[in-house]
Amino acid sequence: MLLNCLKIKGGGVSVLSGGYLKKRLLRIQVGYLLSEGPGNSRTIPIAFSQRVQVDEDLYLDALTGNLALTRTKEGILALGALQVTHTRECDRCLKAFTHHFGLDVAELFALRSDASKSDFYIDSNGEIDLAPLLREEVLIEESYRAVCQDGCRGLSAASGNDLNEMDEAPELLEAEADEGLAIDPRLAVLKQLLL
């Protein structure tokens, strides 16, 4: 069963709003796995090929992959590899571009009575919510510098013009290239907190 299709069928058109899928689609019912007991698992295909909301200010253009959900003594262990498509700003020329990246998920959703075991838990309806987890992971990914294309020339230090569209000599380009894809120091702190 495809998570996306299943939920859209059940929820009707109300899940589509302003051209994106609402974030409640990121909730997965795991009640049946809880009753089956430890050791049981299911692999859930995740197939969002259109814009989906993750938080008030965070949308993904696509989210696909597989998530293996295993009932453990502590709750539900979610393991999987997801592919994310997200529009973000190029760190050199500041233009929005489509960024694709892989996301490895390995997270315990604790039983409600055991919420101290993890930041994530199974709610009273027997559902796990992927949205807070995705938000955290996407923020970490976005804390790394990324460019719209190999060799993006960035903005001119003198005029502020996009050097990709001009013949202007990029004096500062080499220094900027040496910076590589270093993590923004302010966000490095956030990364440490999240690990």
Q: What residues make contact with Zn ion under the rule CB under 5 A?
A: 90, 92-93, 148, 152
- Closest by CA to 105, choosing from 139, 72, 79, 66, is 79
Q: Considering the complex, what minimum distance in angstroms separates the CB of residue 177 from Zn ion? A: 12
Can you tell me the distance from the alpha carbon of 176 to that of 161, in angstroms, rounded to the nearest whole number? 16
Nearer Cβ to Zn ion, position 26 or 93?
93
Q: List the beta bridge partners of residue 183.
A: 144
Residue 96 or 189 with smaller CB distance to Zn ion: 96
From the CB of 141, what's the least distance to Zn ion, in Å? Answer: 17
Residues for the chain: how many in total? 195
Closer residue to Zn ion (CB): 76 or 148: 148
* CB nearer to Zn ion: pick between 103 and 146: 146
Angstrom distance (rounded) from CA 155 to CA 165:
10
CB 162 to Zn ion: min, Å: 8
Instruction: Give CA–CA dist 94/173, Å, rounded.
Output: 15
